Amino acid sequence: MRVLHLPTNTASIPSHTVRGLSEIGVNAQGVVIGNPMIHSAEGLKVIEVRGAQWTPPWIWGQLVKSFQFVKWATWADVIHWYFDASMLPLGMDLKIIGFLGKPAVVEWLGSDIRIPEVEFADNPYYKSAFNKGYEHQSENLQKSRRTQQAFMKQGFLPVLIPCMIQYIQKDICPRFYRIGQRIMLRDFAPRYPDPNKKKPLVVHAPTAPVAKGTAFVLKAVEQLKEKYEFEFVLIQGMPRKKALEIIGEADIFLDQFIIGYYGMAALEAMAYGKPVLCYVKPSVLREEPSSLPIVNANPDTLVEMLGLLLRDGRLRLAMGEQGRAYVEKYHDAIKLAHQLLEIYQEVIRGRRS
């Protein structure tokens, strides 16, 4: 089976997925637009479009994109699309896939179909942040429905991580598949926290400061510095390799405290054997296995929960060990590749019939 992954390397998930599929013998290829310094590009063909619009470098990049898209779309038996992103202007890429009759799945991953009204109903932290600089102001019900309709019109079927199911419009997408986030575990040799370390390292990556709840992190750190001795590092403005090195050295990783779900950064930290603090809202928590070892902290409880880990080295070690075991059980890209292969086979059969 030939599987093509397009068009963006969101949170490195396509890279992990392509490699996981390749490990079980699937001919998986990824062609994406993006910056290989930010995300893992292993297993992918990355097209970087440079220059201002209509300049020679930009025009050349558009030609390369178009050629690569047609070449690989024709080659594929099934297409796995990520996010509401485009490779070609005017949505021509989706139309070409529909015209070719290619079996295809789409994996929406966040702000592409997130619906504020759904979040407002059970996430007070999102509701508060939404009008205070929240970075993804394009999120709205109408946009979400348009996105879902555009993909359904061309024959795509959704493949969703648990937290995205709440935004699916059943009248548009009556069928969907469920899959976990994927990570190539061999990239992350565990480096469990030393329980006897006197000055633990706390790390936070504010890729979107308002959405991540960075202001609450900084406030908590300031308060706790008066009581505990620890180092604190913000990961920002650095290549992925350097960022991962810092996470690998950390004793505690702070993920996000507004959105209400853990992301790929949390999985990477757990794979390294680090305890992770994150806000997982109740409605999403019910969709997760009961063994989820994330320390659940919201903006109101962050000081208390981070303080608990700062003063208890054995707890840091235990949570780190549980986190590694959890990603091995539920997020291993190679294990989940078998599940994806079954989905692809079913989608192909459905398209042919």
Same domain, 95 and 207: no
* This prediction's pTM: 0.94
The pLDDT value given to residue 38: 54
Q: Give the three-class secondary structure for 106.
A: strand
- DSSP label of 135: S
Across 50-59, 120-129, 202-211, least confident range: 50-59
Decide: 187 and 134 in contact? Cβ < 8 Å. no
Query: What confidence tens digit (pLDDT) does each residue in 43-83 have?
Result: 898 887 778 888 988 888 888 888 889 999 999 999 999 99
Same domain, 50 and 147: yes
Q: Comparing C-alpha atoms, which of 113, 109, 122, 94 is closest to residue 10?
A: 109
If you write DSSP's letter for every residue of 157-213 in order, what string do you get?
EEEE-GGGGGG--TTT-S--EE----B-GGG-------TT-SS-EEEE--SSHHHHT
Query: What confidence tens digit (pLDDT) does each residue in 288-312 have?
Result: 999 999 999 999 999 999 999 999 9
Same domain, 162 and 99: yes
Cα separation, 150 vs 98, whole angstroms: 11
pLDDT over 60 (residue 37)? no
Above pLDDT 70, what percent of the chain? 99
Q: How many domains does the chain have?
A: 2
Who contacts 214 (Cβ-Cβ below 8 Å, separation ≥6)?
A: 204, 206, 234
Range of the domain at 175: 2-182+332-352
What does pLDDT average to over the chain? 94
β-pair type (276-278, 252-254): parallel
Exposed / middle / buried, residue 48 (Cβ in 10 Å: 0-12, 13-18, 19+): exposed
Cα separation, 167 vs 32, whole angstroms: 25
**Residues belonging to the chain:** 353
Same domain, 168 and 224: no
Same domain, 127 and 7: yes
pLDDT over 90 (residue 316)? yes
Same domain, 147 and 204: no
